[in-house]
Each structure stands twice: as structure tokens, then as C-alpha cells.
């Protein structure tokens, strides 16, 4: 059919139209073969023209038809049954047929079209049904097997389709023929590729191939993986090999080319995004605290880029394919970004475990330094996690504070300009301000014991060790100079371009500055003063080194004038030390023994002293001349005053402790300037008689020294070392608050010079808390504390409910007494708590409330115009909340001063 | 490097928004006056800010014994000008009162409630305070100044017929609780 139409152009076009509707079928058996052309008899009317007629159309057509038949028979792919194995033996006319058909371009095209159709028919009938799985989504688990099956099938059909042609090409005898055949084959291959691509869903195919490639790349990586060696050489030597990938097969069966390239690109992208960054070679370096990013970049450009080049070369059949430097950097950058994303996601944990995770922080730093736009993303990711994990009621304030210090450290490492820090620290700061205990924790942390960098013996809920460590490291720099105001600063730099509106450049760079900046300085100083007072009263270091340093630190960081109270406090305790040396009541026991130079030196106050007044202390003990000689040794003279020499004297043997006991009770008094100290506990109670005597004798000596100051003893602040002689044991307790000593003294069975003793301890009866409260005129709180303390120490026991007696022998313990330790009880601090202060000033608050309710009419507790708000407004010293107001109102209601009517309170008429 | 974090947010300010009308000195003065009145109260007198504005106070006076006003309670409002204490506070009776020097609207005619100075008949001085003003008003109840009455009838009646006067006082008076009921 087709053959008849070839030769005229018009007909050929007509034929195209026809064939487009009725596709050409199998090869055809040309007519002359079935009905052989035996030639025509020369027409009688025509002269015999010989055999070489130049244009014998019929002859041409016959030849063409015959060649077509031969060629198509050679190439035909029978649908049913095995394809005829076209071995090297084939009829020689096949060659001629191909030469005839392929030389004119039209017929070659026709042959190509026919062969494409032939392949299509065969492919649809025999191959495609086996690839039906492609029509459904491919599960990941089946991807590899389906891929392999597909490749094998396609390879098989490829061999089938092209073995005939290949055999032809091999046996071609001239190069022209061969070239012609190769061109034909190339075209046929292209048709085959188109056929394959068109009969499979491309997107799915591409994704599956990409997935399979990724799998194979991973396998290749794991085969060439040796993290131990890599970590030793500080360079990753692992590599991906392209021979693990069936690239050439893909290319051969038509899955290469654009589709293959795209799939490969997808695979490489995923490799960089998911696999590479999780590899062991690029884990966070905890050992050296270095960034792994340079290593990653090097690995990508030196190991991965060649693999990509090679693979792409195979896929595109362009073996000299080269990546440009830009591309290499692009790959490296992708990997770095992915690593950065990965690190950013767990940035919170890295910050939490700073400084062990410095390596990870450096990774992120490297990442954002190459991509500045990521800064804000890192910040926002971090802030999101922080909101979820830190800034809510769950964590303790100390935890938030130590996180805050970690944030400061690590974000300063991330961004030395501090812009990022400013962004992320804002939420923490505003959250910390909402917590009531933040200021007191900071103040307590500043003063917590710190020995050789280790914070010891602290309550984790009240002290943040991180701050303590920071304080010990901080320097006494002057942070008040503001950079922007220093016009002659030659190192001035403009604010970074990404700085927020609140950005301020400042010289102070350490954590302490950030911590101190959390709060209003005045509020902070107030709180610090309270903690410092507590601390100074309990400090054992006569030099007060740490406290001095701390106050100097505050003076340099905060407003020095506001720290006057702290300085006075420090001076008080220092003066007390020398005061105690000078008027130690022990002195009266020392006989005529001449004083040692050390004793004289200790007696000289820092502010200087005249010879006369100094000699007065020693006149009954040594001669004047002798005294003067000793004085010259230990003191320097300026303007008629003697000052202690700073040189240290050789150590003298200390007096044995027994001597002290023989003389009575060692007593040390601290003289404080009441105005500058925070409100102290002022509970009064009866002290054991010795103590009272000592207090009064100290008072006399104090005024004898020419002091104008009036002494007022705060007994609740005193601390006593108690030694108890029990029948079977000896108990010694150091630094017991005086009220506990008083209580245990009441149980003493020894003969006592108690004039006013209105309580007699009878071991048979025991004592009740009420009796003790009455006898010692002590508050219940303190009595209960003392009883609990001594019961916990197994000195007292509960003889009967609420009746206590001395546990003289341990075997007397009936086990009734609960084994309480002092730690379980609320520690009673010397400095008044908020609660105690409220109780103290309750009468004034109550007067205010009364006035308010009488003049302003009935009010509720809460609300804008409620009692609480009004009190806060008119009375700045009222810093309490509604709870306290309700308590006050309850007290007043109990006395019948106010009445409650629903939520509304009113004065009684 | 970065800033020392700002500290302004941490400042606690109790009711600062509420003191709109007055400047700092006035507030300080009023706070100290309030503190003085609270710590050393005068019997029969009390005063307290009425709301968020510390320059508006409510006051309570009980009638002095041995006067027609004995046993009665009077509510007053005290309003301090922005230049207090250089100008006197504005004091008004809220409780209706029958008195020669108080008019029907509760305005009080008292020399110390008028600005002093040259050519002025007022006797206000900055050394006076809320407590002394209220004390003067309390004593005015027992010793009206009949020379310059705002309520002429009361002035006449005070001199002529104390019993009738007392009747009028009681008739006009409303206890604060009754006023609350009226208002509600």
C-alpha cells in the first residue's frame, strides 16, 4: 500500500494524510512476489527501446516494494511467540534493501516511522502489560524492585528491537552503508526512548528513579564510609561512587536524558539535605569545639562534586562534562544551609548545654555568616522553641536565669555585634521581670559561696550557680561610659544595619552587665542590700574580702551613690571586728601579762588613735616606755595619730581554747548602724543570764570608748555556740540562733542564778510550749522552731503530746519523737521577710483602709477602684497584693471594724 | 557590642496613670498630709482620696457635742487645685446641712477657704492643711459667723430660738446611709 505511493510528491502528501488515520500495519508482501512480474510484452505499437529505460516507474515501484518487503521482514517484531532470533545469518538482499530504502530521505523516514510503529505495537502488547504497576502510586518499599524490573524489561526489549539492526551494522561492508545504518539506528533508538517515556507516567517515574538513586548513593556511601579514619585525619575521606548507580543502563533504555538528569538532581539534593548532614563525619564536635562546616565544604567540593560530574557525564553521554566553580560552591552552600537548618532546629538544646556545644554554635555562626538573611530565621526559630520550653510556669527562675546566661554567651559567639542577642534576649528579659523572685535570686547568686569556681552548698531553687560563676569572673570595669557619647572614640563604628531600634552600643560585654540590666537599679539595690545584710551577719571571714569585692563591682556597674547603705553596712561589720578586739570583755581576765605587739596592733583602729587613748587600754599591763617601743614596731605615725602598719607580724602561738572556756563565754558583738540596714527581726525574749550580763558590760565599754551611739541589742540576730553535757553524750552546735539557746537553757537542770526564773524544769513533768513562751516571753514561732530543732537533734523529746523533756540518754528515746531535721522547717532569717514586714506595718495599713472605707464608701478588694489599688496609690510603701489586703480585712473584721457584704467591704457604724 | 538592656520596663509605678491632673509636688504634699492624718487622726474627722485622682478627697465630720449638730455625721468633698498649697482647697458639704454659713448647694463661707493676700479678705495660707481646714469647719458648726450669713434664716434663728434651730437642723439632715439609699 505504502509503497505504491512513494514516488510522487503529491501522492506522498496524500499518503501521509492517509497513514495518519490508518497506521501502517506490518510489513507488506509486495505484489510482484505473489504475482511475479514477468515483464510486459513489447507493445506492437512501440519501438523496442532496450532494457535500460531511464525512468521506468513501474520497475522502480516494484524494486522499492520488494526492498521494503525485505527490510520490514527483517525488522518485523511478531507479537505472538518468540521473536525470531536474528542472528548474523540473514539474506544478503537485506543489505541491498536497506541501502535502497535509506538513501532517499523520504523512504528512510517512512521506514523509520514504520519501525517506530512496529516497536510501539510490540511494546504495548508484550512489555507494557508487565509494567502496569507504574499506573498506581509506587510505594517506597516497592520502588527499588519495580525499578529493577523495569530496567531489566526495557533492556530485554531494547535488545530485541535492536539486535537485528546491530547485526546489520556489524556485517556492513562499506563505511557509507555503516554510517547510513548507524544513523537509522540512532533515529530508531530515539523513537524507542520516546516510546518508553510516553508509555510511563513521567512524574512518578522521575520521583521513583530519584528515590532509587538516593538509596544507591546511600549504599555507596555506607560502603565507603570510615568515620574513625576521617575523625583522625580531620578530613572526611568518605566518597560516593558513580558505579553504584545503573546510570548507563538508564541511559540505554531511554530513562537517561532530561528525565534522568532531573531525577539525579533530585537525588543529589536529597542527599545533601538529608543524608550528608546526618553523617557521622559531620556531627557536632564536642571534643574540639570546632565547626564542622569547613570540613563539609571541602568534602563536597573534593568528593561529591567529582561524583556528580561523572554521573552527569554518563547520563548525558557527554563524558567530558565539567561542573563550574560556581556549581561546586552551590552544592557546598546547599549542604551548609541544610546543616545550618539542622543545627538551628536544636539550637535551644545547644544553648542549654553550653559550653560543651560550642562546636554546634560555631556551625550556626558559619552558616549565618555565609547567609545573612538567615539570622532572623535562626532568631525566630529559637524564640519559638523558647516560648514552648522555657517561658512558662514550668521552669524554676534559677533555670531561666542560667539559660539566660547561656543565651548571652552563645549568642554573643554567634553574632559579636549583639543584634541577635538583643532580639532573643528581649522575651526572656520581659518574662523574668514578671517573676517575683528574680531579683532576690540574682542578689543571692551574687553572694553565694564560690570556691575555686565551684558553687557549693546552695539551694538550687534560690541561687543560680551560673551567675555566681560569672560574678567571680567579672572584672571591675566601668560600664557607665556610653560609647555613643564619647566623641573622641577612635574605634567608633556605626550600628550594624540589621540592628533594631532599641540597639545601643555599649562597652560592657559581660554577663553581669546583662543580669544587672534586667531590673531597675534601685529595686535591685534594695534587694541586694537585704541579701547582703543577711550575708554579712553570717560571714565568718574577718576581712570580708568577697563582700568588699562585690560592693566594688556594684559601684562600678551601678550608680555608686545609691550603694551608700551597702558601704555603711560593710564598714559596720569591719568596725565591729576591730571594736571587738579593742573592748573584748576577755581583756579583764588577762592579768598583768604585758600585751603582745600583735594585740596592740589589733587595738589600733583604721582611722587612727592617739598615744594616750591607746595606752589607756594597756596602762595596767606595761610601762609607758616599753609600750611606746612596741607601738613603733606595729604602727606608723601621722599627725599625732597612730595607724596600724600594713606589714604582717610573725605568727604567735594561739592561746589554747580551754583557756577561753575557763574565763567564761567568748563574746563578739557587731555594731550596726540601724538606719542603713534593712529592717531586722526585732523579736525580744529572755536570754540566758550570762548573755544579758555580757551585753550590758559590752554596752558600758562601748560608751567608755567615747561612742555617742546608742546600742540596742537585737537578740534574735545573735548566734551562739552551744555545748550540752548529757548523761551519755556531749552535743556541740555551732552558730545556733539565740532563741534556740534560750529554749534549751530553760531545760538546764544545773544550778542557775535565775532570779526571775518563773519556770522550773522538772524532768518528770517536762515543759510545754506555752510554758516556755510565757517564761521566755518569746513568740510562738520561735519557740516552735527551737523545739523542733532540738527534737531533730535528739536532745529533746516529746514526753507527752506537746510536752517536751530532755533526752538524757539515747536509749530513753521512745521513738515517739518524729525524726525531723532542721532542714525541713522554714529557716527563720534574721532579716525580716515580706510577711513579717506586713504584720509589722499592719496597723498603719488598717488605719488607711478604715479611712478609705469610711470616706469613700464601701469598696471591693480588687478592681481599679478597689481597696488594693487605692492603697497602692496613696501609700507607696504598700507593695502587697490582694491576698494581703484580704488578710488585713479579715483581721479587721475579726475585731468588728469592718463588715463584709458579698464582695464589698464597709466600715461598721 | 550590645547594649546594657534597658531598665524602664522594670519600674513599678503604682497608679501613676491615675494622677493625671496633678503635678509631682502636689501629689507629694497630699500624700504626706494623708499620712499625717492617718498616723495621728483627729477624733471626729477623717478624709481620704475618693478615687484614682488624688486631688479629690472625701471627708467625714461628726457634729461637735453640745451643738445642735451633735451626733450627726456630715460628708464633704475636698478638691485640691493644681497649685495647692498656694491656693485653698475647694470644700463642699455633700450632706444637706442647715447652717448660717452654708448655702443650699453645700458651699461654705469660711475665711480660710478663700485665697489670702493683699486686698483680699481670705485667710488661706500654705501652712494650713486638710486637717486644719476640716477642724475649722467642724468648729464652724458650733460657732457660726452670723455676720456674713449665706443662709439668713438660719442666722436669725440661731440667735432667737435654738430649739427651733435644732429641729430645722435635724429635719434637713440626712445620714449618709439614707443618702446612699436615695441615690440608689
| Domain range summary for chain A, segments of one domain joined by + | 3-31+57-200, 702-824, 834-907
* Separation between Cα atoms, residue B95 and residue B172, nearest integer Å: 9
Residues of B in contact with A506 (CB under 8 A): 1-4
Confidence band, pLDDT 50/70/90 cuts, at residue A655: very low
B6-60 per-position pLDDT tens digit = 333 333 333 343 444 457 788 888 888 888 888 888 888 888 888 778 888 999 9
Domain count across chain B: 1
Supply angle C-alpha A297, A302, A303, rounded to 5: 100
**Chain A, nearest residue to B55 by Cα:** A874
Q: What is the pLDDT of residue A823?
A: 41
Nearest CA of chain A to the CA of B7: how many Å? 5
Residues of A in contact with B75 (CB under 8 A): 855
Q: What is the pLDDT of residue A376?
A: 83
Choose among B1, B47, B49: nearest Cβ to A509.
B1
ipTM at complex level: 0.73
Question: Cβ A874–B49 below 8 Å, yes or no?
Answer: yes
Q: What is the CATH number of the domain that holds B107?
A: 3.10.110.10
Contact residues, B window 61-120, toward A, CB-based 8 Å cutoff: 75
Residues of B in contact with A874 (CB under 8 A): 31, 34, 48-49, 54
Question: Cβ B5–A869 below 8 Å, yes or no?
Answer: no
- Supply A287's cell numbers: 571534643
pLDDT at A781 over 80: no
- Cβ pair B138, B65 in contact under 8 A: no
Rounded mean pLDDT, A154-169? 80
Contact residues, B window 9-48, toward A, CB-based 8 Å cutoff: 9-12, 14-15, 18-19, 31, 34-35, 37-39, 41, 46-48
* Separation between Cα atoms, residue A396 and residue B166, nearest integer Å: 69
| DSSP code at position B81 | -
Q: Which residue has the higher pLDDT, A242 or A435?
A: A435
Nearest CA of chain B to the CA of A503: how many Å? 6
Q: What is the pLDDT of residue A4?
A: 43
Instruction: Note whether residue B17 is domain-resident.
Output: no
Question: Cβ A874–B3 below 8 Å, yes or no?
Answer: no
Most A CBs within 10 A among B6, B10, B24, B73, hence the mutation to make, goes to: B10
Instruction: Note whether residue B135 is domain-resident.
Output: yes
* Separation between Cα atoms, residue A296 and residue A339, nearest integer Å: 9
Q: DSSP letters along A774-840, please?
A: HHTT--HHHHHHHHHHHHHTTSEEEEETTEEEE--SGGG--S-S----GGGSPP--SBPPHHHHHHH
B132-167 per-position pLDDT tens digit = 899 999 999 888 888 888 888 888 888 888 888 888
Confidence band, pLDDT 50/70/90 cuts, at residue B79: very high
How many A/B residue pairs have CB atoms within 8 Å?
Answer: 123
Rounded mean pLDDT, A397-408? 84
Q: Which residue has the higher pLDDT, A668 or A821?
A: A668
A495-548 per-position pLDDT tens digit = 666 666 655 555 455 677 777 777 777 777 777 777 777 777 776 666 777 778
Choose among A412, A504, A856: nearest Cβ to B3.
A504
Nearest CA of chain A to the CA of B61: how many Å? 10
Choose among B4, B39, B46: nearest Cβ to A855.
B46
Question: Cβ B12–A502 below 8 Å, yes or no?
Answer: no
A108-160 per-position pLDDT tens digit = 888 888 888 888 888 888 878 887 777 888 788 888 888 888 888 888 888 87
Choose among A422, A503, A848: nearest Cβ to B38.
A848
B119-132 per-position pLDDT tens digit = 667 788 888 888 88
Contact status of B54 with chain A (Cβ, < 8 Å) = yes
**B109 catalytically annotated:** yes
Q: What is the pLDDT of residue A43?
A: 55
Q: Do domains A702-824 and A834-907 have the same CATH topology?
A: yes
Instruction: Note whether residue B77 is domain-resident.
Output: yes
**Chain A, nearest residue to B42 by Cα:** A851
Rounded mean pLDDT, A597-621? 65
Most B CBs within 10 A among A518, A526, A873, hence the mutation to make, goes to: A873
Choose among A421, A503, A865: nearest Cβ to B52.
A865
Question: Cβ B48–A854 below 8 Å, yes or no?
Answer: yes
Instruction: Note whether residue B8 is domain-resident.
Output: no
Rounded mean pLDDT, A428-447? 79
* Separation between Cα atoms, residue A1 and residue A30, nearest integer Å: 9
Question: Cβ B5–A514 below 8 Å, yes or no?
Answer: yes
* Separation between Cα atoms, residue A422 and residue A503, nearest integer Å: 7
Question: Cβ B2–A852 below 8 Å, yes or no?
Answer: no
Nearest CA of chain A to the CA of B182: how many Å? 15
Choose among B10, B54, B60: nearest Cβ to A873.
B54
Rounded mean pLDDT, A460-487? 62
Instruction: Note whether residue B54 is domain-resident.
Output: yes
Question: Cβ A847–B7 below 8 Å, yes or no?
Answer: no
Question: Cβ A517–B51 below 8 Å, yes or no?
Answer: no
Choose among B2, B35, B38: nearest Cβ to A421.
B2
Q: What is the pLDDT of residue B17?
A: 39
Long-range own/partner contacts, residues A253-256 (CB < 8 A, 24 or more apart) = A253/A151, A253/A154, A253/A155, A253/A158, A253/A193, A253/A196, A254/A154, A254/A189, A254/A192, A254/A193, A254/A194, A254/A195, A254/A196, A254/A197, A255/A151, A255/A154, A255/A196, A255/A197, A255/A205, A255/A209, A256/A314, A256/A315, A256/A316, A256/A317
Q: What is the pLDDT of residue B92?
A: 92
pLDDT at A582 over 60: yes
* Separation between Cα atoms, residue A685 and residue A683, nearest integer Å: 7
Greatest mean pLDDT among A398-412, A543-557, A713-727: A398-412
Residue A143 backbone dihedrals phi, psi, to 5 degrees:
-60, -45
Instruction: Note whether residue B49 is domain-resident.
Output: yes
**Chain A, nearest residue to B6 by Cα:** A517
Residue in B109, B133, B140, B154 annotated catalytic: B109
Residues of B in contact with A516 (CB under 8 A): 4
| Burial bucket for residue B63 (CB in 10 Å: 0-12, 13-18, 19+) | buried
Choose among B6, B12, B60: nearest Cβ to A855.
B60
Residues of A in contact with B34 (CB under 8 A): 874
Nearest CA of chain A to the CA of B170: how many Å? 19
- Cβ pair A681, A831 in contact under 8 A: yes
Nearest CA of chain A to the CA of B73: how many Å? 11
A267-308 per-position pLDDT tens digit = 888 888 777 777 777 777 777 777 888 888 888 888 888 888
Rounded mean pLDDT, A659-685? 63
Residues of A in contact with B19 (CB under 8 A): 873
Question: Cβ A844–B38 below 8 Å, yes or no?
Answer: yes
Lowest mean pLDDT among A219-228, B45-54, B85-94, B105-114: A219-228
A847-904 per-position pLDDT tens digit = 888 888 888 788 888 777 788 888 877 777 777 778 888 888 888 888 888 888 888 8
Nearest CA of chain A to the CA of B125: how many Å? 24
- Cβ pair A77, A85 in contact under 8 A: no
Choose among A430, A503, A856: nearest Cβ to B50.
A856
Q: What is the pLDDT of residue B78?
A: 92
> Which structural domain, as residue segments, surrounds residue B27?
22-179
Instruction: Note whether residue B79 is domain-resident.
Output: yes
Which one, of A562, A559, A557, lies nearest residue A507 by Cα? A557
Lowest mean pLDDT among A211-225, A301-315, A624-638: A624-638
Compute the mean pLDDT over every residue in chain A, rounded to the nearest whole number: 72
Q: How many CB atoms lie within 10 A of CB A814?
A: 10
Residues of A in contact with B1 (CB under 8 A): 412, 416-418, 505-509
* Separation between Cα atoms, residue A878 and residue A528, nearest integer Å: 20
Question: Cβ A876–B47 below 8 Å, yes or no?
Answer: no
Q: Which residue has the higher pLDDT, A821 or A248?
A: A248
Which residues are CB-neighbours of A585 under 8 A, at least 6 positions away?
A: A664, A667, A694, A697, A698, A701
Question: Cβ A417–B2 below 8 Å, yes or no?
Answer: yes
Question: What CATH class does A702-824 carry?
Answer: mainly alpha
pLDDT at A757 over 60: no
Residues of A in contact with B51 (CB under 8 A): 856, 865, 870
* CATH tag, A834-907: 1.10.10
pLDDT at A608 over 60: yes
Instruction: Note whether residue B26 is domain-resident.
Output: yes
Nearest CA of chain B to the CA of A756: how many Å? 37
Most B CBs within 10 A among A423, A853, A855, A870, hence the mutation to make, goes to: A855
Amino acid at each position: 500500500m505504502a509503497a505504491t505511493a512513494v514516488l510522487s510528491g503529491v501522492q506522498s502528501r496524500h499518503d501521509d494524510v492517509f497513514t495518519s488515520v490508518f497506521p501502517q500495519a506490518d510489513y507488506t508482501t509486495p505484489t510482484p512476489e505473489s504475482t511475479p512480474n514477468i515483464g510486459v510484452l513489447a507493445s506492437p505499437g512501440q519501438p523496442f527501446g532496450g532494457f535500460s529505460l531511464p525512468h521506468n516507474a513501474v520497475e522502480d515501484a516494484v524494486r522499492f516494494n520488494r526492498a521494503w518487503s525485505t527490510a520490514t521482514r527483517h525488522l518485523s517484531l511478531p507479537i505472538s511467540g518468540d521473536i525470531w532470533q536474528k542472528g548474523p545469518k540473514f539474506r544478503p538482499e537485506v543489505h541491498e534493501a536497506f541501502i535502497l530504502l535509506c538513501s532517499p530521505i523520504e523512504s528512510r523516514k517512512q521506514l523509520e516511522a514504520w519501525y517506530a510503529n512496529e516497536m510501539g505495537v510490540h511494546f504495548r502488547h508484550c512489555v507494557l502489560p508487565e509494567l502496569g504497576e507504574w499506573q498506581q502510586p509506587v510505594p517506597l518499599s516497592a520502588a527499588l524492585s519495580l525499578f529493577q524490573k523495569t530496567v531489566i524489561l526495557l533492556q530485554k526489549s531494547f535488545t530485541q528491537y535492536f539486535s537485528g539492526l546491530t547485526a546489520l551494522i556489524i556485517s556492513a561492508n562499506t563505511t557509507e552503508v555503516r554510517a547510513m545504518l548507524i544513523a537509522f539506528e540512532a533515529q530508531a533508538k530515539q523513537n524507542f526512548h520516546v516510546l518508553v517515556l510516553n508509555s510511563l507516567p513521567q512524574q512518578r517515574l522521575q520521583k521513583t528513579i530519584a528515590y532509587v538513586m538516593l538509596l544507591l548513593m546511600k549504599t555507596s556511601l555506607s560502603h565507603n564510609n570510615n568515620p574513625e579514619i576521617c575523625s583522625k585525619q580531620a578530613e572526611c575521606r568518605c566518597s560516593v561512587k558513580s558505579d553504584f548507580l545503573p546510570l548507563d543502563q538508564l541511559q540505554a533504555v531511554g530513562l537517561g536524558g532530561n528525565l534522568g538528569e532531573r531525577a539525579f538532581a533530585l537525588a543529589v539534593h536529597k542527599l545533601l539535605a538529608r543524608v550528608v548532614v546526618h553523617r557521622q563525619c559531620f556531627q557536632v564536635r564536642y571534643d574540639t569545639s570546632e565547626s564542622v562546616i569547613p570540613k563539609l565544604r571541602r568534602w563536597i567540593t573534593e568528593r561529591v562534586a567529582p561524583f556528580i560530574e561523572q554521573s552527569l557525564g554518563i547520563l548525558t553521554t557527554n563524558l567530558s562534562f565539567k561542573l563550574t566553580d560556581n556549581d561546586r560552591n552551590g552544592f557546598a552552600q546547599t549542604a551548609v544551609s541544610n546543616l545550618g537548618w539542622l543545627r538551628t532546629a536544636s539550637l535551644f538544646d545547644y544553648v542549654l548545654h553550653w559550653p560543651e556545644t560550642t562546636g554546634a554554635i560555631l556551625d550556626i555562626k558559619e552558616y549565618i555568616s555565609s547567609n545573612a538573611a538567615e539570622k532572623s530565621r535562626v532568631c525566630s526559630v529559637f524564640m519559638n522553641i523558647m516560648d514552648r520550653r522555657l517561658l512558662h510556669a514550668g521552669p524554676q527562675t534559677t533555670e531561666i536565669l542560667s539559660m539566660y546566661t547561656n543565651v548571652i554567651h552563645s549568642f554573643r559567639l554567634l553574632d559579636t555585634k549583639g543584634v541577635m542577642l538583643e532580639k532573643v534576649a528581649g522575651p526572656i528579659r520581659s518574662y523574668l521581670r514578671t517573676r517575683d523572685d528574680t531579683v532576690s535570686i540574682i542578689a543571692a547568686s551574687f553572694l553565694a559561696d564560690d570556691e575555686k569556681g565551684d558553687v557549693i552548698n546552695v539551694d538550687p531553687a534560690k541561687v543560680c550557680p551560673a551567675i555566681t560563676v560569672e560574678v567571680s569572673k567579672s572584672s571591675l570595669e566601668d560600664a557607665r561610659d556610653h560609647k555613643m557619647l564619647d566623641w573622641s572614640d577612635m574605634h567608633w563604628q556605626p550600628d550594624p544595619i540589621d540592628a533594631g531600634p532599641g540597639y545601643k552600643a555599649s562597652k560592657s560585654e559581660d554577663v553581669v552587665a546583662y543580669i544587672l540590666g534586667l531590673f531597675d537599679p534601685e529595686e535591685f539595690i534594695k534587694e541586694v542590700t537585704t541579701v547582703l545584710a543577711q550575708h554579712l551577719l553570717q560571714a565568718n571571714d574577718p576581712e570580708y574580702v568577697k563582700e568588699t569585692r562585690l560592693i566594688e563591682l556594684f559601684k562600678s556597674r551601678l550608680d555608686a551613690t545609691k550603694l551608700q547603705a551597702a558601704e555603711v553596712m560593710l564598714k559596720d561589720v569591719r568596725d565591729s571586728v576591730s571594736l571587738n578586739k579593742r573592748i573584748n570583755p576577755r581583756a579583764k581576765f588577762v592579768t598583768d601579762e604585758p600585751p603582745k605587739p600583735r594585740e596592740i596592733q589589733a587595738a589600733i583602729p583604721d582611722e587612727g588613735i592617739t598615744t594616750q587613748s591607746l595606752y589607756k587600754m594597756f596602762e595596767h599591763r606595761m610601762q609607758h616606755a616599753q609600750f611606746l617601743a612596741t607601738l613603733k614596731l606595729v604602727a606608723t605615725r601621722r599627725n599625732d595619730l597612730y595607724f596600724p602598719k600594713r606589714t604582717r607580724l610573725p605568727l604567735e602561738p594561739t592561746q589554747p581554747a580551754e583557756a577561753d572556756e575557763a574565763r567564761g563565754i567568748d563574746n563578739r558583738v557587731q555594731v550596726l548602724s540601724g538606719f542603713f540596714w534593712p529592717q531586722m527581726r526585732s523579736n525580744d525574749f529572755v536570754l540566758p543570764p550570762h548573755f544579758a550580763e555580757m551585753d550590758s558590760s559590752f554596752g558600758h565599754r562601748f560608751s567608755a570608748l567615747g561612742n555617742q551611739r546608742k546600742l540596742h541589742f537585737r537578740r534574735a540576730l545573735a548566734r551562739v555556740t552551744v555545748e550540752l553535757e548529757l548523761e551519755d553524750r556531749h552535743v556541740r552546735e555551732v552558730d545556733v540562733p539565740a532563741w534556740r539557746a534560750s529554749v534549751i537553757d530553760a531545760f538546764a537542770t544545773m544550778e542557775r542564778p535565775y532570779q526571775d526564773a518563773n519556770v522550773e524544769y522538772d524532768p518528770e513533768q517536762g515543759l510545754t510550749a506555752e510554758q516556755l513562751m510565757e517564761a521566755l516571753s518569746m513568740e510562738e514561732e520561735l519557740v516552735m522552731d527551737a523545739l523542733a530543732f532540738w527534737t531533730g537533734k535528739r536532745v529533746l523529746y516529746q514526753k507527752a503530746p506537746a510536752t517536751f523533756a530532755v533526752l538524757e540518754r539515747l536509749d530513753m528515746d521512745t521513738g515517739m519523737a518524729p525524726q525531723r531535721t532542721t532542714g525541713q522547717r522554714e529557716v527563720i532569717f534574721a532579716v525580716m521577710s515580706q510577711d513579717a514586714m506586713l504584720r509589722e506595718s499592719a496597723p498603719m495599713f488598717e488605719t488607711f483602709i478604715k479611712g478609705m472605707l469610711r470616706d469613700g464608701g464601701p469598696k471591693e478588694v480588687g478592681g481599679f477602684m478597689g481597696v488594693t489599688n487605692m492603697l497602692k496609690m496613696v501609700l507607696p510603701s504598700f507593695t502587697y497584693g490582694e491576698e494581703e489586703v484580704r488578710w488585713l480585712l479579715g483581721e479587721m473584721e475579726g475585731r468588728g471594724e469592718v463588715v463584709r457584704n458579698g464582695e464589698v467591704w464597709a466600715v461598721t457604724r | 557590642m550590645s547594649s546594657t538592656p534597658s531598665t524602664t520596663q522594670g519600674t513599678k509605678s503604682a497608679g501613676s496613670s491615675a494622677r493625671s491632673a496633678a503635678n509631682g509636688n502636689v501629689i507629694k504634699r497630699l500624700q504626706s498630709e494623708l499620712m499625717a492624718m492617718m498616723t495621728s487622726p483627729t477624733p471626729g474627722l477623717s478624709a481620704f482620696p475618693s478615687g484614682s485622682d488624688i486631688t479629690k478627697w472625701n471627708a467625714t465630720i461628726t457634729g461637735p457635742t453640745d451643738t445642735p449638730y451633735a451626733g450627726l455625721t456630715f460628708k464633704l468633698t475636698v478638691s485640691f487645685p493644681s497649685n495647692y498649697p498656694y491656693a485653698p482647697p475647694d470644700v463642699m458639704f455633700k450632706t444637706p446641712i442647715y447652717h448660717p454659713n452654708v448655702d443650699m448647694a453645700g458651699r461654705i463661707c469660711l475665711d480660710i477657704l478663700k485665697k489670702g493676700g493683699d486686698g483680699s479678705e481670705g485667710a488661706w495660707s500654705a501652712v494650713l492643711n486638710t486637717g486644719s481646714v476640716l477642724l475649722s469647719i467642724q468648729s464652724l458648726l458650733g460657732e457660726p459667723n452670723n455676720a456674713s450669713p449665706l443662709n439668713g434664716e438660719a442666722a436669725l434663728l440661731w440667735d432667737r430660738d435654738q430649739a427651733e434651730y435644732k429641729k430645722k437642723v435635724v429635719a434637713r439632715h440626712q445620714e449618709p446611709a439614707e443618702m446612699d439609699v436615695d441615690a440608689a
